[in-house]
Amino acid sequence: MKTRCYNADDPHYERWGGRGITVCPEWLNNFQAFHDWAISHGYQDDLSIDRIDNDKGYSPENCRWASAKEQNNNKRNVKKVIA
């Protein structure tokens, strides 16, 4: 999360930090705050952190734990079809 947002040498930086995605100060500077949020919001080893709104950063209000399938459905390039 931090590397994607703040390390310009990371291969994924352009898709995160390069387009303005950040980590909220509370999480950026305090791992315990992130850990406490993670545990209280359903962290499991088989889930990964997911931003609800892909145009906003990592923060308690914009994140959730999601399965790989949920993550794939929440990408910017997914086209939603209404039948």
How far is it, in rounded angstroms, from Cα 39 to Cα 37?
6
Identify the pLDDT of residue 81: 62
In this prediction, residues 51-78 reach a mean pLDDT of: 87
C-alpha span between 35 and 50 (Å, rounded): 15
57 neighbors 78 (Cβ within 8 angstroms): no
What single letter denotes the amino acid at residue 65?
W
CA dist 21 and 5 (Å) reads 6
Mean pLDDT, range 53-61, rounded to an integer: 95
Contacts of 13 (CB under 8 A, 6+ apart): 3, 4, 5, 7
Average pLDDT of span 26-31: 97
Is pLDDT of 79 > 70?
no
